[in-house]
Structure 1
């Protein structure tokens, strides 16, 4: 059985959503995508509308704001017409391509205006309060979008993991997309970098969010993510899961 047969995007609320902007954050460099996407979902009066489930994901229930929830969640902000996907678990390369396919199918279902993938960018700069934002467009439309918003375009390099596979999938399906990448530490969660991406998004989309609280949460988020990963490693999985997580 193919991985895709065991993966599903579950919409728990049937919302009429048309032409939204997708904002997507998975675990990557400095956990920037995860922290930024979840902070947006928590502060833009978003509604939880679904999740992604699969037997290839670790059997973990996340405790978030005093409620049990799924590790990969889908939110919707009616006010800003945003669909936000936030993941608190790492995703392997084998699973990333299949998940990206289903996420871009959801974009097609909602006739997405564009998709913005949030990521960290490895840097040797140790300046803690200045995090440059760069971008990678999927096509000429998004290249103009980045230039219009004064975002430096990265000419060469590679984007790994789910972020990279989502961008490739949007190219295949002719969906406008780009990556927004903040200079980030590699070995620790970089809340300053996540805050910098949110500030740039606020300029683009037109919302206002206080990020001071996020910037203070770096240590707490690091502990939470380490606990999740530790639980994943300690769990005795099936043979198929061992291929992905062993």
Structure 2
């Protein structure tokens, strides 16, 4: 009996060995693909700085760099922003005889300074400027026996704002308001007797116009304007319609 059981036990042991090799505890582990491991792996955030002022300092450095860029924006422009022009046109003097106006010839000089260049602001470089102007206009009327003549001199300081356009921003339309004083010299001649009258009145200047500065060379441009300008001297209004031409550098 025992002789028969021994071969049966040995056979059972031999057959049970493959089954034990497939036990779940001894089975090989499955490794995911590299792509799946990268996608499923948790991402690490960059370490947060322990200094609470680090972000503020970084933003301050960026603003400082932007300010430096704005200050250097005009370094490649060799022009200084100065111009001088000769003014000519028609001056319509307010008539003391009840007419619309007494037309006469107006002549003058103008010096311009583009003060927007010193403000370290690129949009304002070409749009803000200031005029120093002198103009003269005169009239005379009467007979050979009685004759009156007058000369008006206009001195003004007037800032302006210009809306520039064009690829190089050399053209624009502008509005201008300023002030100064008007010096008037009047003489009345009756026969051989001459009576002079002189006086100074406050002056208000305002108007609009078109301005151009096409470049002639690297450091010089042609400067010209067409303008409609009003001069109020005391209680009288004179209107100038004309233009000017000169150079800018």
Normalising by structure 1, what TM-score?
A: 0.23
Higher strand share: 2
Normalising by structure 2, what TM-score?
A: 0.23
**Does 1 or 2 have the higher relative contact order (CA < 8 Å, sep 6+)?**
1
